[in-house]
Amino acid sequence: MYDLIVIGAGPAGFTASIYASCFGLKNLVIGKMIGGQLSYAPDILNYPGFEEISGVELTEKMLNQAKKRGGEIVMDMVYEISKIEGGFHLKTQDGKEFDARTIILATGVERRKLNVPGEIEYTNKGIQYCATCGRFDYLQSVAAVVGGANAACQTAAQVAHSAKKVYIVYRSSELRCDEIWKKHMVEHPNIEMIYNANVVEILGDGQKLTKIKISIKDPSASSLQTKELAIDRLFIEIGGVPGTALLIPLGVKMDPGGFISVDEKLSTSVAGVFAAGDVVGHRYSIEQITSAVGSGARAASYVFSFLKQQIAPTLWGSSQIKRN
Ligand SMILES: Cc1cc2nc3c(=O)[nH]c(=O)nc-3n(C[C@H](O)[C@H](O)[C@H](O)COP(=O)(O)OP(=O)(O)OC[C@H]3O[C@@H](n4cnc5c(N)ncnc54)[C@H](O)[C@@H]3O)c2cc1C
C-alpha cells in the first residue's frame, strides 16, 4: 500500500510527490497526461528561477526531479476510487489497481473550448486561454476576448493596457462581471463590446490567426448577421471544467463553482483525501504554476501530518522510535 497516491501529473502533482518523497512517504503519481496544462504553455516567463522556459522543458525537469526524489510515476487515468480499510482503492483505465492510505487530487482544470473551426490549428498561434501566460507584446495589436464574466473582463483590461484595440465578444446582451469591471469596460477607450455574438470560425494564414468570423443576433429582428474582425490575438475566457467527477461517488463536497471544497489544510470533506492546484478553485489558487506548486507542497506536508496522527502505530510505532 502506498502512503500517498497523487492523481494528476501537472505542477501540483509533481511538487506533491517531491515533497512526499522528502518526507519519506512511499508515493505514486498517476497522470493521464504528463505535465498537464503546463505542457501546453509555449513560453513561461513568470516562473521564478527560469527567466524563460517552455512548458515541455519545465515538465521534463519536474518529472525528473520527482523520479529522482523517489516518486513513482505512471501515465494512466484513474476512473474509480473507493474507500477500503485504512485507505483507498484506485482503478485505472489500463486495468491496474492500487491502494493508498491517502490521496491528493491534483487533476487541474480543463479550459473550455469554443469548438469552432480553426481553434485547434491556431492555438498558440494567436489563440490563448490565459492572458497572464506568455509575452505581453500586445503593442499595436488588435485583440478579441471571448466571454463576459470577471476573467474575460480582467483579460480585456490587461490586454487593453498595451493593445491598440480590444473587442469583447459576448453571447449575451449584458456582461456577467462585477459592476466595477462593467464600468471599466464601458469607460475604457480601447475596448469595444460586441454583444449577442458568437465566434463561428477562426481564420489565418497557416502560421498565425488573422481574423475571426462572428455571428451577431439582432434580438429585435431575431435575425443573424455575420461579420469578420481582423485581429492578431484571441483570448478565450469562457471558464474551465475542474477534474472532480472522480471524487463525487466518494462523497467529497464541491464548492458552488464545481471546484473541490477544502479547508485551510487542503483537506476535503473525506478524511485522507486532499486536493491541490487549479482543481481547488480561486479561493486557494490563482490558476498559475507558482500557485499549483505551492499548494502541492502544502498538501504533501498536510498528508504527512495526517498520517503521523492517524496511523502513527504502523508508520512511526513507539517501539521504533528511539527515546533518550
Ligand atoms: C496554454 C497555457 C499556457 C499557460 N501558461 C502559463 C504560464 O506562462 N505561467 C503560469 O504560471 N501558468 C500558465 N498556465 C497555467 C498553468 O499551466 C496551470 O495553472 C497549472 O498547470 C495548473 O497545475 P495543476 O497541477 O493544478 O493542473 P494541470 O496542469 O491541469 O494538471 C492536471 C493533471 O491531472 C491529470 N488528470 C486529470 N484527471 C485525471 C484522472 N482521472 N486520472 C489521472 N490523471 C488525471 C491531467 O491529465 C494532468 O496531468 C498556462 C496554461 C495554459 C493552458
Locate the ligand 1 atom nearest the alpha carbon of residue 46 and give its number. Answer: 9
Tens-place pLDDT, residues 228-245: 999 999 999 998 888 788
What residues does 212 pair with on adjacent strands? 202, 229
Grid cell 498565425 in the structure block, residue: 208
Q: Assess whether 297 and 192 both reside in one domain.
A: no
Q: Assess whether 230 and 248 both reside in one domain.
A: no
Dist CA 242 CA 236 (whole Å): 17
Q: Rounded to the nearest 5 degrees, what angle is found at the Cα of 16, between the Cα atoms of 18 and 35?
A: 90
**Is residue 114 classed as helix, strand or coil in its secondary structure?**
coil
Tens-place pLDDT, residues 204-233: 999 999 999 999 998 777 788 999 999 999
- Among residues 90, 147, 146, the alpha carbon closest in space to that of 273 is found at 90
Q: How many of the other CB atoms lie within 10 Å of CB of 322? A: 4
The continuous run of DSSP H or E covering 58 comes out as helix 55-69
Q: Assess whether 151 and 296 both reside in one domain.
A: no
Looking at 236, 271, 301, which one is the last position of a domain? 236
Q: Assess whether 251 and 102 both reside in one domain.
A: yes
User: Domain total for the chain?
Assistant: 2
Looking at 236, 257, 287, which one is the last position of a domain? 236
Dist CA 111 CA 120 (whole Å): 13
Q: Assess whether 257 and 209 both reside in one domain.
A: no
Q: Assess whether 78 and 167 both reside in one domain.
A: no
Q: Which residues contact 233 (CB under 8 A, 6 or more apart)?
A: 126, 127, 128, 138, 141, 142, 143, 144, 159, 163, 209
Q: Which residues contact ligand 1 via a Cβ below 6 A? A: 7-13, 30-33, 36-38, 40-41, 44, 46-47, 77-78, 106-108, 111, 129-130, 133-134, 243, 246, 277-279, 287-290, 292
Nearest CA to ligand 1 atom 6: 133
Backbone phi, then psi, for 311, in 5-degree steps?
-125, 35
Q: Assess whether 81 and 153 both reside in one domain.
A: no
Q: Rounded to the nearest 5 degrees, what angle is found at the Cα of 203, between the Cα atoms of 202 and 204?
A: 135
- Among residues 139, 137, 146, the alpha carbon closest in space to that of 119 is found at 146
Quote the cell numbers at residue 267.
483537506
Domain enclosing residue 138, as ranges: 119-236
Q: Assess whether 125 and 223 both reside in one domain.
A: yes
Dist CA 214 CA 193 (whole Å): 13
Q: What CATH number does the domain containing 61 carry?
A: 3.50.50.60
Q: Assess whether 264 and 276 both reside in one domain.
A: yes
Looking at 201, 236, 271, which one is the last position of a domain? 236
- Among residues 177, 210, 209, the alpha carbon closest in space to that of 193 is found at 177
- Among 98, 130, 286, name the best residue to mutate to test ligand 1's pocket (greatest count of ligand atoms within 8 A of Cβ): 130
CB 278 within 8 A of CB 240: yes
Grid cell 490565459 in the structure block, residue: 130
pTM of the model: 0.79
Q: What is the average pLDDT value for the chain, to the nearest integer? A: 89
- How remote is the CA of residue 184 from the centroid of ligand 1, in Å? 30
Locate the ligand 1 atom nearest the alpha carbon of residue 79 and give its number. Answer: 41
Quote the cell numbers at residue 123.
492555438
Which own/partner pairs from 266-269 qualify as long-range (CB within 8 Å, at least 24 positions apart)? 266/295, 266/298, 266/299, 266/302, 267/302, 267/306, 268/105
- How remote is the CA of residue 7 from the centroid of ligand 1, in Å? 12
Q: Assess whether 78 and 149 both reside in one domain.
A: no
- Among 34, 289, 293, name the best residue to mutate to test ligand 1's pocket (greatest count of ligand atoms within 8 A of Cβ): 289
Q: Assess whether 246 and 99 both reside in one domain.
A: yes
Residue 284 DSSP one-character state: T
Q: Assess whether 159 and 222 both reside in one domain.
A: yes
Query: Identity (one letter) of the amino acid at 44?
Result: I
- How remote is the CA of residue 283 from the centroid of ligand 1, in Å? 17
Give the pLDDT of the chain (324 residues) as one tens digit per residue: 999 999 999 999 999 999 999 999 999 999 999 998 888 777 788 899 999 898 899 999 999 999 999 999 999 999 999 999 999 999 999 999 999 999 999 999 888 899 999 999 999 899 988 776 656 666 779 999 999 987 788 889 889 988 999 999 999 999 988 888 889 899 999 999 999 999 999 999 999 999 999 999 987 777 889 999 999 999 999 988 887 888 888 889 988 878 899 999 999 999 999 999 999 876 666 778 999 999 999 999 999 999 998 765 555 544 343 333
Query: What does each C-alpha distance from 55 to 45, 63, 215, 289 come to in angstroms?
Result: 10, 12, 34, 10
CB 153 within 8 A of CB 181: yes
